[in-house]
């Protein structure tokens, strides 16, 4: 009943269908969009070829220059754009549009809330939290952000370190993901349009989304997805290399694995092979199961450190850091440090080196995470969707960062572990400490080798689920928005992601990964700003139809059935129609 009702009243008047111009190749093993798929392959191939031709040294210089230019020239734009995204997504949740159900009034949830949360969190933050949860607070403790005006190595510096870290991993990035996910889910499930970025621009472009304007939007989306994803995969494999080397060699003395780019390329190949096996199993058989395993492993590692670590210090520092984060949120969100920056600089060093990179990374990462969230969120209201995507992951990030970052800070402020973490930070090259910081911290507490092994395993599983999820998303973009694509096509993109991540790591190391993320994030930020308006137009049109006489007559007919239940908001707007049950319950 709902499908017919949704098509009749809510779908746009168009004779186009999802994937109607697709071409099948190799006996149906590939089902591709004739422009986006080959166009994306051509551009990716050119990028790989140019990087290899430049050579490692010159490629590194190009990546570093690109990163510095974007940070200094467009840093202000990233800060402003992310604030607009946050205001927009909160408005959608608290306004009358919050009662609109993704997929239509009779849409049912495909996944339980627990499975939904596990998948969106594994896709959204996993590798990054593992990589930066110790490093970032330690860096700020030794070089406090100028915004807070704290003295290095003091308790005030510890509070500033946690607050700044919460800022980078809290509401702002999840607002980006939520906005993208909401737009994709709404126009795909409520309007019956392809599950690609071009569909979000239907209110402005109409049928032209199937032409070159739509092709360009999807090509930019493919690039943003690919390079945002490869940034995480590169960071993850660097940490896997360090974990095996430090835990297996320094702590257990059983393996002597050097930390080199060559080793990391080999590890990418091995872990990508595992990802290929997982993605071949599909969303339910592979991604869902691994995401759930990820969440259990995270909770196990988190709970273990919380108990054996400085528990009271963790709780107290969490409260103090969270208070500083909330109290300074508005000022932090708009702080550039321009007035206090050194001569010739337009941004404070913390803002340019950390905030701008993060915002660019999150924006580049948003097509992947947003589309994946959209794919698994059918049946939830806009308000439920925003609360789930915005609030719960932020709270989990705060707990995680407080536990791992707080445990690291405790070694300096309380003298536990003999200050080994701060000593390592002072004596090591920064890039080395970035990948080793978590393992050095875990070594300071009981059963450090076991928790180090668990942490390494967790990074591997996050690598696999990120690659899997990214493959599914790029499949949607390059197959005209189809929800289900051939297995061989998913395997192809999982392999391609591994290849590009390896090339970026070889060509520019961590700087190359970061430059790729913020470079692709820049044009995509413009697309997201326009998207704020198109999603508003779509939701407003939906609400008008829900209030219309034609819709009311259809619902009255449905209500006459004894086995139908109609849910309304405030006794007026219909939010759900179910067959003898409550639409708001989990499967």
Q: What three-state secondary structure class fits 281?
A: coil
d(CA 82, CA 73): 16
**Selected residue with higher pLDDT from 579 and 446:** 446
Mean of pLDDT values over 344-367 = 84
Give the whole-angstrom CA distance, residue 89 versus residue 181: 11
Task: Choose between 575 and 490: higher pLDDT.
Answer: 490
Lowest-confidence segment of 127-136, 203-212, 248-257, 374-383 by average pLDDT: 248-257
Do both 310 and 366 map to the same domain?
yes
pLDDT at 166: 97
CA pair distance 434, 408, nearest whole angstrom: 13
575 and 524 in one domain? no
Task: Give the residue-averaged pLDDT of 300-319.
Answer: 94
- Check whether residue 419 and residue 568 sit in a common domain: no
Most confident of 167-181, 502-516, 571-585: 167-181
pLDDT of residue 541: 92
Nearest one of 206, 191, 150, 239 to 466, comparing CA atoms? 239
For the chain, give the mean pLDDT. 84
**Band of pLDDT at residue 1, cut at 50, 70 and 90:** very low
Number of domains forming the structure of the chain = 2
pTM metric for this prediction: 0.87
Establish if 586 belongs to a structural domain.
no
Compute the average pLDDT of residues 424-451.
88
Tell me the per-residue pLDDT of 530-550, one tens digit each, with 9 for 90 and over: 999 999 999 999 998 888 888
* Model confidence band, residue 61 (pLDDT cutoffs 50, 70, 90): confident
Enclosing domain of residue 567: 548-579
Nearest to 153 by CA among 167, 139, 174, 134: 139
Dmax over CA atoms of the chain, in Å, equals 75
pLDDT value of residue 3: 54
409 vs 477, residue with greater confidence:
409
Spell out the residues 6+ positions from residue 206 whose beta carbon is closer than 8 angstroms to its own. Answer: 12, 14
CA–CA distance, 175 with 181 (Å, rounded to integer): 10
- 57 shares its domain with 143: yes
Residues 531 and 563 in one domain: no
Percent of the chain surpassing pLDDT 70:
88
Find tokens 């759900």 and name the residue: 576
Reply yes or no on whether the pLDDT at 344 is more than 70.
no
Determine the Cα–Cα distance for residues 151 and 145; give it in Å rounded to an integer.
Answer: 10
Is 2's pLDDT higher than 50? no
Residues 139 and 189 in one domain: yes
In the prediction, which pLDDT does 576 show? 67
Q: List phi, psi (to 5°) of 432.
A: -70, -45
Residue 393 pLDDT > 90 = no
Main-chain dihedrals φ then ψ at residue 268, nearest 5 degrees? -60, -45
Same domain, 408 and 552: no
CATH code, domain carrying 350? 1.20.1730
| 16 phi, psi to nearest 5 deg | -85, 145
Helices 36-94/356-375 angle, 10° precision: 90
Residue 509 and residue 566 share a domain: no
Task: Kindly tell me if the per-residue pLDDT of 330 is higher than 90.
Answer: yes
Question: What band does 328 get if pLDDT is binned at 50, 70 and 90?
Answer: very high
- Residue 579 forms beta bridges with which residues? 564
Give me the pLDDT at residue 416, please. Answer: 60
The answer to whether position 3 is within a domain reads no
Whole-angstrom distance, CA of residue 58 vs CA of residue 437: 29
Query: From its phi and psi, is residue 211 left (phi > 0), alpha (psi between -120 and 50) or beta?
Result: beta
Asked whether residue 473 falls in the same domain as residue 564, the answer is: no
Per residue in 257-305, pLDDT (tens digit) is 888 888 988 888 888 888 787 777 665 555 667 777 777 888 899 999 9
Q: Quickly tell me which residue has 């390079």 as its tokens.
A: 227
Q: What is the mean pLDDT of residues 87-111?
A: 90
């Amino acid at each position: 009943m709902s499908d017919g009702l949704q098509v009749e009243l809510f779908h746009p008047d168009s004779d186009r269908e999802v994937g109607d111009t697709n071409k099948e190749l190799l006996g149906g093993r590939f089902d591709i969009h004739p422009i986006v798929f080959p166009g994306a392959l051509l551009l990716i191939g050119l990028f790989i070829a140019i990087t290899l031709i430049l050579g490692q040294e010159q490629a590194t210089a190009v990546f570093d220059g690109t990163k510095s230019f974007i940070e200094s020239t467009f840093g202000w734009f990233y800060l402003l754009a992310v604030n607009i995204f946050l205001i927009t997504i909160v408005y959608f949740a608290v306004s009358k549009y919050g009662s609109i159900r993704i997929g239509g009034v009779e849409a049912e949830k495909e996944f339980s809330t627990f499975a939904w949360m596990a998948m969106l969190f594994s896709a959204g933050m996993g590798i990054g939290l593992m990589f930066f949860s110790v490093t970032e607070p330690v860096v700020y403790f030794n070089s406090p952000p100028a915004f807070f005006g704290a003295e290095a190595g003091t308790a005030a510096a510890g509070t500033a370190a946690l607050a700044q870290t919460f800022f980078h991993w809290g509401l702002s990035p999840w607002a980006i993901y939520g906005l993208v996910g909401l737009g994709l889910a709404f126009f795909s499930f409520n309007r019956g349009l392809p599950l690609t970025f071009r569909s979000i621009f239907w209110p402005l472009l109409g049928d032209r989304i199937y032409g070159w304007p739509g092709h360009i939007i999807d090509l930019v989306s493919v690039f943003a997805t690919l390079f945002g994803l490869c940034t995480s995969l590169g960071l993850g494999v660097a940490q896997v290399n360090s974990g095996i080397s430090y835990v297996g060699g320094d702590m257990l003395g059983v393996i002597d694995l050097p930390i080199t780019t060559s080793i990391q390329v080999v590890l990418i190949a091995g872990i990508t092979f595992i990802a290929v096996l997982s993605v071949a199993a599909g969303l339910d058989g592979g991604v869902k199961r691994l995401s759930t395993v990820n969440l259990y492993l995270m909770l196990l590692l988190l709970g273990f450190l919380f108990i054996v670590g400085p528990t009271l210090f963790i709780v107290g520092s969490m409260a103090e850091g969270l208070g500083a984060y909330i109290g300074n949120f508005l000022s932090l969100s708009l702080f550039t440090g321009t007035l206090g920056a050194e001569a010739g600089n337009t941004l404070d060093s913390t803002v340019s080196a950390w905030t701008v990179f993060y915002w660019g990374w999150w924006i580049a990462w948003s097509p992947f995470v947003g589309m994946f969230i959209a794919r698994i969120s059918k049946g939830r209201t806009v308000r439920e969707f925003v609360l789930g995507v915005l609030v719960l992951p932020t709270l989990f990030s705060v707990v995680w960062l407080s536990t791992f970052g707080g445990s690291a800070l405790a070694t300096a402020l309380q003298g536990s572990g003999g200050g080994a973490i701060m000593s390592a930070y002072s004596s090591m090259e920064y890039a080395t400490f970035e990948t080793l910081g978590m393992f050095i911290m875990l070594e300071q507490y009981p059963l450090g080798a076991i928790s180090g092994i668990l942490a390494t395993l967790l990074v591997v599983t996050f690598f696999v689920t990120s690659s899997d999820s990214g493959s599914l998303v790029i499949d949607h973009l390059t197959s005209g928005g189809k929800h289900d694509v051939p297995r061989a096509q998913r395997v192809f993109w999982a392999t391609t992601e591994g290849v590009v991540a390896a090339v970026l790591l070889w060509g520019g190391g961590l700087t190359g990964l970061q430059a790729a993320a913020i470079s692709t994030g820049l044009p995509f930020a413009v697309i997201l700003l326009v998207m704020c308006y198109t999603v508003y137009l779509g939701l407003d049109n939906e609400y008008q139809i829900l209030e219309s006489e034609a819709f009311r007559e259809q619902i009255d007919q449905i209500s006459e059935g004894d086995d139908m239940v109609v849910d309304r908001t405030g006794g007026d707007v219909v939010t759900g129609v179910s067959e003898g049950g409550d639409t708001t319950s989990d499967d």
